[in-house]
Structure 1
Amino acid sequence: MKQIQWDLAILSHEGIARDTFRLKLAAPMLEEMPKPGTFFNLTVPDQRFLLKRPISVFAVDHARKEISFIYKIMGEGTKALSDLRAGDTIRVIGPLGNGFPIQDDAHKVLLIGGGVGVPPLYELGCRLKEAGKEVITVLGFRDQSSVFCEAEFRSLGQTVICTDDGSYGFHGLVTQAIEEHGIEFDVLYACGPRLMLKAVDLKYRDHKTGYLSFEERMACGIGACYGCMTETREGLKRVCKDGPVFRLGEAVYHD
């Protein structure tokens, strides 16, 4: 799908968990579906904020020409974004980045998400299920008030919810939940905090195939400013342009 800029109408904008919002936009320009794992740069409706906010695609309804995003208030910029209402318009640029590849030879697929890394996995799960894959999902949140979209992921297949404080679901880390539930899989896809991705990567890189989507602070979002570099075995790469999705075992981590 060609990258371009649009002013899109907001169809709905609602809180779905603590400080977490779902934004649905009319997208009449959709000629093809953005690849799961790609993102759009959204303009904050306040002249104090020059930089756009990169937000991953949550879901795409191609028949209705609608696209949805889920984001968490992380600062003043996303707080200003949350003040928009249905009927307003917002300027977006995208799709940006390289998304998740669909591996044809995989039969059982594991999705691993943490916090605001959960949203891009849903559209991916929908595409995987449409392709006839068995989809298993393990999602980690801080506490019960932070959990969102559980029903949507359960519609795709077996889903395990984890919380750090044990207030809901499995008490512990996503890697612990995978072991406790005896989950087997052919390919994994993960998105979430760097510490979670590191744990997943180091645990499975030597004997599994998988892909990790990295969260990173971005400036331009198009690879021009080199402000979101990450170290890989092949050298420094731009998360916004070369990623945000990297192969399992590709990233280099430092304590």
Structure 2
Amino acid sequence: MGETRNSNARITYSNSQDNWLLKTLQYMKSDPEILEELINHDVAIVEGDIIMSSDRNAVVNKWPELDGHVSVPYRISSDIVKKTHDILSAMKMVSEHTCVSFHSRTTEPNYMYFKNGKGCASHVGCIGGAQPLFIGPACMMGNICHEILHALGFHHEHTRMDREKYITIIPHNIMEGMEKNFGVKNGNTFQLPYDLTSILHYGSDFFSATGLPTIVATKNEPAMGQRTHMTKLDIQRVHNLYNCD
């Protein structure tokens, strides 16, 4: 009798592991920005791709300006040289429309350090030193631009305090334990409108346990969660934070 119960438990556990593997494989293709939290348990990560600071009192800092311009040093780890084109293209998405540019690091103590990861992840704002941006195999240009914007100081759009007018969170579709990733944060919106199409907005199925939406927009917006371009509002946020005007 005990052996039967144990066998059933092993089967249930095995099925659970198989389902988790299938979901992980799915996210490797569709939503690589949440993989780092799902797989990497050596780093404290929230909202799928935001690396927690070890200093609870840390304040989000901008990268330094010089004569109204910001040039952020970067380094690309030798183990992800195949991602160089995607990384440079992501930087261009930011630099071609703003006063923020990027240059290869020489001796600067603070710089963005693109390194190998399971998914895509970054700190929010400049934290100092060799600041890691994890870039996994499935992280494409748009995903990397998303992480660069985090590193420049921007949070996810869906965590804005005024989001209830624009989206509805569906708790029963969210993976168990991941509900925390759908909270709200009190932050500077620069009085800009909520942007469903922001490159910093979650997609409708992020952290879905059922395959059904975890976020539903109040008005139909098929481009919610797009990772192809920075919107006009994304660009304006960078202008406002870094005084580009």
Shared fold, TM over 0.5: no
Q: Which entry has the higher C-alpha Rg, 1 or 2?
A: 2
Greater per-residue strand proportion:
1
TM-score by length of structure 1 reads 0.27
TM-score by length of structure 2 reads 0.28
